[in-house]
Amino acid sequence: MKRTAGTTSNWKLSAIAGALVCWFSVFTALAQAQGSQGQDAVYNSLNGIVGSSAFIDANTFLNPATQGKDLCDTIFYIFTHNYPSAGAVIDARGVSGAANLTCTHGSPWAEGSSYVTAPSTILLPATGGTTPTPIIISTPWILPSNTHLIGEGDGIPSSGFTPGTTIQAGTSFSGSMIQFGTAPPPSSPPICPPVGSVYTCTGISVENLTLDGKGQSVNGISNGYSQDGSYVNHVSLYQIRGVGLVIQGSAQGNASNSGPYSNITFDLGGNLGTSQTACASLNGLSGTHGIHGLTCISGDNVSPAAVLLDSSNNSIEDLRIVGFYDGPS
């Protein structure tokens, strides 16, 4: 049997139309299966295509009129609206624009007197490019247990390399830009639960980003409460005139067994240091997994020391120091 050209064309068109109908049906099923805003759909052998809360697209919640008003408020909204207790990956890489990346309502974990302690992995957006738009914060980011904060890459702008993700301290910022856990403030539940007489978090990490202090006397990352499974990797500390990395112990908690703290660069970026400026401080605790790969650049000799150490059983390896005062501290 011989087909004519017209018959063959009609047959092909019918096949294409049928395929499009099938694809449309699949995508409709996927959309319906998600069941919850921002969730992906997965195949379940018992129920077919179902929603999965393991991965949440934060950009779908960014709506200043009704839901999240900026990056921090959006993540806080996700945490407080049917967030799975076992935790999830919150993908905020689609959030962009200076207004959306300026946090005006608190941090992703705290607004007013409300605190969130849910576990999560948060993927932060890229903020570089020809017109950098850093994430601007006005209050410390206090991370609870089992929080993993991951950016798109670190770097020091003064070196000519634009960081993949930059978190920048807002005007008149005070304290530490990122803090691993805390003891309970008055009338509030503890961010880190009590273990005996101390408050202890575990499993907190920060990777692949730059913290920019904008020349203010702030600290970069402080850890006084989070222990096993807590670490820092590939983080640049820029224009920070306080202490870049604070690892400490106290009567309420300590950071023993934390680390390693690796691939860290501290650079004042042309700002003058103070008597309180240091790359890192290990104070009042024993037995971390150490600092491995630390570059300290000050450009002046005002600061008394690059690294302050008064604790035993802590290792410091691959240390490079430029510009700090090298006399007795």
189: preceding bond cis by omega (within 30 degrees): no
Look-up of token digits 């969130």: 116
Whether the CA torsion 110, 116, 119, 121 is positive or negative: it is negative
Q: Secondary structure of 110-164 in the HEC alphabet?
A: EECCEECCCCEEEECCCCCCCCCCCEEECCCEEECCCEEEECCCCCCHHHCCCCC
Q: What does the CA dihedral 315, 319, 323, 328 come to, rounded to 10 degrees? A: 30
d(CA 247, CA 151): 22
CA dihedral defined by 264, 302, 270, 127, rounded to 10 degrees? 30
- The one-letter code for the residue type at 63 is N
Distance CA 22, CA 27 (A): 9
What are the tokens at 123? Answer: 């993927």
H/E element, 22: helix 5-34
What does the DSSP 8-state code read for residue 70? S
pTM: 0.85
Query: From CA 70, how far away is CA 92, in angstroms rounded?
Result: 11
Asked whether the beta carbons of 219 and 174 are under 8 A apart, the reply is no
CA dihedral 5, 10, 11, 17 (to 10 degrees): 150
Tokens found for residue 226: 């989070």
pLDDT in tens, the chain (329 residues): 445 555 555 555 555 545 444 443 443 344 334 445 666 666 666 666 766 668 899 999 999 899 999 999 999 999 999 999 999 999 999 999 999 999 999 999 999 989 999 999 999 999 987 788 999 999 999 999 999 999 999 998 877 778 899 999 999 999 999 999 998 875 566 799 998 889 999 999 999 999 999 999 999 999 999 999 999 999 999 999 999 999 999 989 999 999 999 999 999 998 988 889 999 999 999 899 999 999 999 877 677 788 999 888 889 999 998 877 654 44
pLDDT value at position 125? 97
How many residues are listed for the chain in this entry? Answer: 329
CB 56 within 8 A of CB 81: no
Write down the pLDDT at residue 94: 95
With beta carbons less than 8 A apart as the criterion, state whether 255 and 272 touch: no
Phi, psi of 265 (to 5 degrees): -120, 130
Sign of CA dihedral 24, 30, 33, 36: negative
Q: How many CB atoms lie within 10 A of CB 144?
A: 24
